[in-house]
Amino acid sequence: MAAEIKAPPLRALPVAPAMVPGAMASSRPYVASDKMQQALGFPGELLPDWQPRALAKMGELLGKYRSLKVFLDACVHCGACADKCHYFIGTQDPLNMPVARQDLMRSVYRRHFTLPGKLFPALVGARELTREVLDQWYTYYNQCSECRRCAVFCPCGIDTAEITMAAKEVMDSVGLGQKYPNEIIAKVHRIGNNLGLPGPALANTLEGLEEDVKDETGVDVRFPVDEKGAEVLLVVPSADFFAEPHVDSLIGYAKVFHAAGIRWTLSSHASEAGNFGLFIGSYEQMRKIALRVREAALELGVKRIVVGECGHAWRVAYSFWNTLAGIGAGGNDPFARQLQSQLDPDFRQPTHICELTWDLIQRGALSFDKSANDHRIVTFHDSCNVARASNMGDTPGGQFEIPRNVIRAVANHYVEMAAETTRERTFCCGAGGGLLTDELLDLRVKGALPRMEALRDVADRHGVNFMASICAICKAQFGAVLPYYGFKAGMVGGVHQLVSTAIRLGTAK
Amino acid sequence: MTTATLLFALLFHFAAAVLAVGLAYRIASYARTPVPLKIPSTPAPATRGGVVLRLLREVTLFESLFKGSLWLWAFAWLFHLGTALVLVRHLRYFTEPVWGWVAFLGSFGTAGSLAMTAGLVALWLRRPLLPPVRTISTPSDHLMLALLLAIALSGLAMKHAVHTDVAGVKSFFLGLMTFSWKPLPADPLLWLHLGLVAALMIVFPFSKLLHAPGVFFAPTRNQADDPREVRHLAAWAARLDA
């Protein structure tokens, strides 16, 4: 691949870049090995009869997902989405325009599933599903982070993420899977988390954290695992268990529970909030991963399920867990009732850790020394899946307000980035959707461009030196790409890292 | 009964049937296809009433497009509003006596046709002039604009330059609707206009014009954001629980 990875120059004006056709044609993630594929029930390698099978799979998905069917029909090629994708802005490759990315599948849909495409393919831009087209799918559907920013601006509500997910499902079904997500999903099924951290190692890590916090604060803050009878089951992204800065947020959650006197536990069976089944568009994989949380909740007898700082995990938890695993309310079938009768209906199920902390703050159950964060000038990066695919609290937009409320409750210096780059218009960090892998670093650095421009602006004008986020992928991605833009890697951190710094232990109640 | 009358009568019966059956089939297939997951683009309304308002804003004000591109929004809105006024104006050819609201709104028909034409010209100019839009345009994108523009221009020409026998046109269409055919005025410009309109009706259910019903069926816009309160389950997904 490219010799040296360099950040593109920041733009003077936030307008669509000039196009460089083929700029990212050689950016491809590693293909999953046959063992990884077979672990998920997919064919080990590209099948000899992949073409008819891929078309059959497309037909199946068109019958199962209204989104796919409507979105492939409804596009008018107006171009409203064209300049909205961070990967197009950063790479200048025209196939990274959302509409062009959709057309990679739409052209095949027209050729094989519509009358005009069968009769007049050239007229309507219809193409056979050839090996070249399949390779283009693999290249460019693996340059979409499924962040949904294009969908915000589409007059027809078309969400490219739905099409990317369908393409990945089709490719998996014919044996052309992507290594990074598929390997991780297999680890979750086998061990319970994305990192492959087994139960004893997890217990060991948590003991170490208890000692660290004791050394630092003199307080016995517990990090319980597999404790039956706890009120709260906390499910966090497994990066929280050891990676910096993620672990600082885990310490923050533990301190919140400690200060509020809530009995909580982690689970070694469901030690992962992340759900990469979403990234590959597989309902079955996503459900299987979510069921581990259900099983852990039933086994431990908890009353509440709380989710840590992880963007796509919160999308899956908030929007899909009720559907996939009966974690929520309003279910009236035996499967849902079994769990829902156990969970406490006075709380939202599941609850985001920011919702929990903000509720406690409002009730006066926590106290803070805000000046402990005075060395930080904080801004907040809205993570795409939280911003555009979930909510918090009781009113639309709570997913924007609640994390900000928590930050302002624990820190004195808070600054917003430009409005066209925050809230529902936020830019992806550049590595969501299963793209947080080393071989895609060039793409990731380029995809971070719009966020880095907005950060540069507030860093220069207000001296911002801390960008808080509530997503493990955002934290890992920024930690890797910030230096390419002349920032310190340690500038990124979690909201509960700020909470951890300011919270007063042992004074509540 | 002239050959032209016979041909156009048959053509319009055929075009109306293709439009009605084609659209009904497409809409039924959208409605029948399951939506297994909650995927509203958030922030989203939590109630059905809120969703109705969101969709109304979407189809009357083009709310999302407004956020995306002001110029494109202006051109698209001009074109769609103009076309709506023109369509209302044309209802007078199918109703006797003409309904009051049709007569009132129809009085803006000329303004509508000018807005429609201006919008179409602007939308078409974008395609070759803006590099990203040029890249994504297919021949059918251009043909669709050409077809609509030809319809608008031939209509404007009959209204303002080469007048046609509008009473005769109305009698022809009223006859069509009751299957008692009346003669169609012999006017080549009228024939061109009507031929193009019939072509538009026929391609409608097979083309990107499906964005019209499609926007109502987009789960990103038409779902209420209440996944924690209500268990949402598609039939094929429910079978996995058993």
Q: Among candidates A360, A372, A454, A362, which has minimal Cα distance to A413?
A: A372
Shortest alpha-carbon distance between residue A58 and chain B (Å): 14
Give the CATH architecture of domain A34-177.
Orthogonal Bundle (1.10)
What type of residue is A141?
Answer: Y
Query: Is B231 close to A329, i.e. CB distance below 8 A?
Result: yes
d(CA B217, CA B224): 13
> So what's the pLDDT on residue A12?
85
Chain B CB contacts of A159 below 8 Å: 39, 41, 220
The DSSP H or E segment spanning A74 is helix A66-74
Residues A206/A225, Cβ–Cβ less than 8 Å: yes
Q: Are A187 and A267 in contact (CB under 8 A)?
A: no
Query: In Å, how far is A120's CA from the nearest CA of chain B?
Result: 10
Q: Does A157 touch chain B (CB under 8 A)?
A: yes
Cα first-last separation, chain B: 66
A454 to A143, A405, B113: CA distances (angstroms)? 22, 21, 44
> b/e per residue, A80-92, with b = 16+ CB within 10 A?
bbbbbbbbbbbbb
* A254 contact B CB<8A: no
Phi, psi of A493 (to 5 degrees): -165, -175
Q: Count CB atoms within 10 A of the CB of residue B238.
A: 14
- Quote the pLDDT of residue A15: 83
pLDDT at A1: 46
| A359 vs A406: CA distance, rounded Å | 10
Least Cα separation, residue A420 to chain B (angstroms): 10
Identify the helix (H) or strand (E) that includes residue A468: strand A466-469
A residues 81-110 closer than 8 Å to B (CB): 81-84, 94, 97, 99-100, 103
Q: What is the pLDDT of residue B141?
A: 97
Shortest alpha-carbon distance between residue A66 and chain B (Å):
5
Q: Cβ contact (<8 Å) for A319 and B227? A: yes
Residue of B nearest to A17 (CA): B132
DSSP H/E element including A107: helix A98-113
Spatial separation of the C-alpha atoms in residues B40 and A392, rounded to whole Å: 14
Answer positive or negative: Cα dihedral of A118, A122, A124, A129.
positive
For residue A140, the model assigns a pLDDT of 98
Out of B64, B72, B227, whose CB is closest to A322? B227
With an 8 Å Cβ cutoff, are B76 and A78 in contact?
yes
Low-confidence ranges of chain B (pLDDT < 50): none
pLDDT at res. A3 = 62
The residues of chain A scoring below 70 in pLDDT are 1-3, 507-509
Out of A67, A103, A116, the one facing B207 most closely (by C-beta) is A116
Those of residues 305-344 in A touching chain B at CB distance below 8 A are: 318-320, 322-323, 326, 328-333, 335-336
3-state DSSP of chain B: CCHHHHHHHHHHHHHHHHHHHHHHHHHHHHHHCCCCCCCCCCCCCCCHHHHHHHHHHHHHHCHHHHHHCHHHHHHHHHHHHHHHHHHHHHHHHCCCCCCHHHHHHHCCHHHHHHHHHHHHHHHHHHHHHCHHHHHHCCHHHHHHHHHHHHHHHHHHHHHHCCCCCHHHHHHHHHHHHCCCCCCCCCCHHHHHHHHHHHHHHHHHHHCHHHHHHHHHHCHHHHCCCCCCCCCCCCHHHHHHHC
Task: Assign A195 to helix, strand or coil.
Answer: coil
Q: Do A311 and A384 meet the contact criterion of CB atoms below 8 Å apart?
A: yes
Q: Which domains does chain B have, with CATH numbers?
A: 3-31+68-218 (1.20.950.20)
- The answer to whether A322 contacts B67, with C-beta atoms less than 8 Å apart, is no
* Extents of the domains making up chain A: 34-177, 183-359, 366-502
Q: Which of A214, A133, A245 is nearest to A478 (CA)?
A: A245
Contact between A133 and A176 under an 8 Å Cβ cutoff? The reply is no
Question: Structure tokens of A44?
Answer: 């080990």
Of residues A476, A309, A492, A489, the one with CA closest to residue A403? A309
> Tell me, what's the pLDDT at A17?
85
